[in-house]
Structure 1
């Protein structure tokens, strides 16, 4: 194991776009970052930080999975938890998280995001920049709301749901496990598990494995 995996600071799993945005969030929040964990670019340097293999994470080391794909996020979180890693939640100082809202371990909330009152974000969920999550919404684990996405109040987003950029999920809707809401779609009806929807109003395109 490379000795620098024991250095103090957060390890970000994923050195791609979301991983670097997670680094931006950490820097803005004053959270020291030790480096990245990425099988594809291990041994390299990204933004001046070392890149190591995820399997090299030391026991007790803090980590955050900075990858958009919920299936990959699930796999990496399970690996890092098994190694004794500790998931950390990051909130950008220019994000707003309202009272009575609970963020699970490993969540990422980027700059300009607004998470309203009495919301629950499950473990390893992501709310990207300028996205909003309305009051009393419940998000399962590994939910992703892409930039500009607008989730209205009292919505249920099940595990591994993705809401695309500038998409809208209207009040009280239910979106099933593994469903994908395409960019700029407007969800006016409940979405079954594993379904991909697009358009305004949103209509099914195909199904994915939930």
Structure 2
């Protein structure tokens, strides 16, 4: 039975793959989880936890210090849900797997998710609601805007700038000093040797534009 001194349980927004991986991260880190928030799957139960609509949360659920993490890969959906939950009075919570390595002088913004096996190097700045998935690496002096995603095995070299909503696909490589524009998407296994314009989708080695996102 939780005591009055226990921290509030965490709500995970999104009951899909990333949401369940966020649950794995929370369990490994010893963070209690209240349940999932998902409009499409509300009423279900996953691994013994209820799935509810975000809009159905009431005062009894949103007591002082109620915490949430958006476990959804899509940056636009992450933005919408974080704004909704902020408006309901919940607080974004940063969740780091105990097998992730966060180097000194690195700052993680509110609502970030760092999964097992990830390495975030020295003097890195992760913006709010960013995600570094399992076995991904982020090099020194790199700066993330908000809602940036690095998928499993992605390798972001040092001094890279990833603007708001940028995504680096699985096993992709972004070379040192590159700039990835807002909303840009780097495809799986791509090698980015030049800056990527906002909204651009790139793929291949070296990465070349496919279309605008």
- Paired position in structure 1 for 2:140: 135
Please tell me whether residue 160 in structure 1 is matched to residue 165 in structure 2: yes
My pick for the range that moved more, 115-124 or 50-59, is: 50-59
Task: For structure 1, list consecutive stretches of 5 or more residues without a partner in the other structure.
Answer: 1-6
- Paired position in structure 1 for 2:68: 63
Note the alpha carbon deviations across 1:84-104, whole angstroms, 9 max, x for none: 110000000000000000000
Note the alpha carbon deviations across 1:157-191, whole angstroms, 9 max, x for none: 00000000000000000000000000000000000
- Paired position in structure 1 for 2:3: none
- Paired position in structure 2 for 1:144: 149
Note the alpha carbon deviations across 1:34-86, whole angstroms, 9 max, x for none: 10000011111011101110113343420000000000000000000011110
Root mean square deviation, CA, Å:
1.0
State the secondary structure of the residue aligned to 2:147. Answer: coil
- Paired position in structure 2 for 1:35: 35
Q: Distance in 2 between matches of 1:52 and 1:69?
A: 20
My pick for the range that moved more, 49-58 or 91-100, is: 49-58
State the Cα distance separating 1:150 from its structure 2 match.
0.1
State the secondary structure of the residue aligned to 1:25. Answer: helix
State the secondary structure of the residue aligned to 1:75. Answer: helix
State the Cα distance separating 1:8 from its structure 2 match.
4.0
Note the alpha carbon deviations across 1:116-166, whole angstroms, 9 max, x for none: 000000000000000000000000000000000000000000000000000
TM-score (norm 2): 0.93
Q: Distance in 2 between matches of 1:15 and 1:76?
A: 13
- Number of residue pairs matched? 202
Q: How does 1:38-187 map to 2 (within 5 A)?
A: 38-57=38-57, 58-59=61-62, 60=64, 61-187=66-192
State the secondary structure of the residue aligned to 2:202. Answer: strand
State the secondary structure of the residue aligned to 1:24. Answer: helix
Q: Distance in 1 between matches of 2:182 and 2:29?
A: 31
State the secondary structure of the residue aligned to 2:42. Answer: coil
Q: Distance in 2 between matches of 1:197 and 1:128?
A: 20
Task: For structure 2, list consecutive stretches of 5 or more residues without a partner in the other structure.
Answer: 1-6
State the secondary structure of the residue aligned to 2:25. Answer: helix
TM-score (norm 1): 0.95
- Paired position in structure 2 for 1:4: none
- Paired position in structure 1 for 2:212: 207
